Chains A and B, each alone.
Chain A
């Protein structure tokens, strides 16, 4: 609602009515035909804007600029300067001199409303003030129009840009860096597989005593075999015998060879899988006893 415009449209003006009343009184006392001396004219309101269908250009929180005419949608480069052209309002002319005959009867004019400055306003001053107000208003409107146009232009530019900068969030630079997440994923998966394998090994049935002894015997056969050979050679070399003893020894050797051929006791380590299982089961059921221990002494035999 334009209050200034409302004031302009109002036909009532204090000063004009007062002067017209004074004039009428004077005319009556003078015996002159009473007529309106001051013609009350509606002052021209420049730049009267016709209401047309507004075009809404932008919507912002708190304020919105609505162009009232298509010409206002352009982007203003400069802030429009206020129109300081003189108003062509009607300024009634009257002489300050009052006729002598009416001086006595002319009532003293009522004091006008004094401004804070103490200056008494005249009609010209009022009109000038109005013009100044209009100019200021126009300038303010032009400034606001320019601001809105600038904001609209910024919005247009943002919509054209491929990326919209979000306040508070810095865009991440696209750079080729080492894929730490991929490597971490591989490491974690490998650890999971290793832990699963360890758990699987841990819950496996433990080796039986015989199996463990077999493994230990396999480790010791290598060191046992060469020792036996050296012992045999040293024993044979150290003997100094006669012919009778030699015959006896040969007979004993024959018997031993015959016995060994008859015994044919295979070494447990050299047995096949089924034989090992069979021997283990026979010992478990007290049918036979294995000789797996690495005796420092020769096994007891009769």
Chain B
């Protein structure tokens, strides 16, 4: 009986350690992808290394805000198909989509304004376009590294 309990404990511990190792690997992989993104931004937008921390701090912050409003919308309307909505729900959906658009515009506007203040409008108007351009590269990099699930890295 004691041996069985000990075996179960060891299996649980090994599973925990395995998950932890996966977490650690994911953290490293995501850090590589982030490094690629940052490098691309810096090279395309001609941002110095001294300003990169500030730039990417603002950039990541506006991504977090965008993600927050998008997730709120998804959480509310993801499970509902548009044809199945009632009149009231459809109206509410339209209002929420409109609000989401407005919120995204607000967030992006605030970010662009902040970037334009420090790095100029030429750099500011290229950020969102470059963001779309590097998405395939980031995706390819992430696929090559085979990022696993369940990797919520708390940013320091």
Q: Is the CB of B139 within 8 A of A286?
A: no
Q: Is the CB of B139 within 8 A of A301?
A: no
Residues of A within 8 A of B63 (CB): 286-289
> Nearest chain A CB to B5's CB is how many angstroms away?
24
Q: Is the CB of A284 within 8 A of B79?
A: no
Residues of A within 8 A of B152 (CB): 284-285
Residues of A within 8 A of B79 (CB): 212, 215-216
A220 within 8 A of B: yes
Residues of B within 8 A of A262 (CB): 133
Docked complex: A280-302 residues within 8 A CB-CB of B: 280-290, 292-297, 300-302
Residues of B within 8 A of A127 (CB): none
> Nearest chain B CB to A292's CB is how many angstroms away?
6
> Nearest chain B CB to A224's CB is how many angstroms away?
10
Contact for A300 among B64, B104, B147, CB less than 8 A: B104
Q: Is the CB of B67 within 8 A of A278?
A: no
The complex places the Cα of A95 from the Cα of B139 at a distance, in Å, of 156
Interface footprint category on A:
35 or more
Contact for A286 among B67, B70, B129, CB less than 8 A: B67
Q: Is the CB of A278 within 8 A of B139?
A: yes
The complex places the Cα of A210 from the Cα of B133 at a distance, in Å, of 22
The complex places the Cα of A263 from the Cα of B132 at a distance, in Å, of 7
Residues of A within 8 A of B108 (CB): 300, 302
Contact for B30 among A266, A282, A302, CB less than 8 A: A282
Q: Is the CB of A209 within 8 A of B151?
A: no
Interface footprint category on B:
35 or more
A274 within 8 A of B: yes
> Nearest chain B CB to A228's CB is how many angstroms away?
15
Q: Is the CB of A301 within 8 A of B128?
A: yes
Q: Is the CB of B34 within 8 A of A287?
A: yes
The complex places the Cα of A301 from the Cα of B105 at a distance, in Å, of 9
Interface string of B56-72 (1 = CB under 8 A from A): 00001001101100110
Q: Is the CB of A289 within 8 A of B147?
A: no
> Nearest chain B CB to A156's CB is how many angstroms away?
64
Contact for A281 among B78, B125, B133, B149, CB less than 8 A: B149
Docked complex: B133-156 residues within 8 A CB-CB of A: 133, 135-136, 138-139, 142-143, 146-149, 151-153, 155
Q: Is the CB of B136 within 8 A of A264?
A: yes
Instruction: Report the nearest B residue to A205, measured CB to CB.
Output: B150
With contacts A286-B60, A287-B34 taken as known, whether A209 is within 8 angstroms of B71 at the C-beta atoms is yes
The complex places the Cα of A14 from the Cα of B75 at a distance, in Å, of 129
> Nearest chain B CB to A273's CB is how many angstroms away?
10
With contacts A216-B80, A292-B74 taken as known, whether A285 is within 8 angstroms of B105 at the C-beta atoms is no
The complex places the Cα of A166 from the Cα of B132 at a distance, in Å, of 94
The complex places the Cα of A296 from the Cα of B90 at a distance, in Å, of 12
Q: Is the CB of A285 within 8 A of B128?
A: no
**3 tightest Cβ-Cβ pairs between the two chains A and B:** A278-B142, A212-B78, A302-B128
Give 15 A-B pairs besides A289-B63, A292-B74 with Cβ atoms closer than 8 angstroms: A213-B78, A216-B78, A219-B81, A263-B132, A264-B136, A278-B139, A278-B142, A278-B147, A282-B138, A285-B155, A286-B67, A292-B70, A293-B73, A293-B100, A302-B129
Contact sample, A vs B, 11 pairs, CB 8 Å cutoff: A212-B79, A216-B80, A220-B81, A263-B133, A271-B139, A274-B146, A277-B148, A282-B30, A286-B60, A289-B66, A302-B108
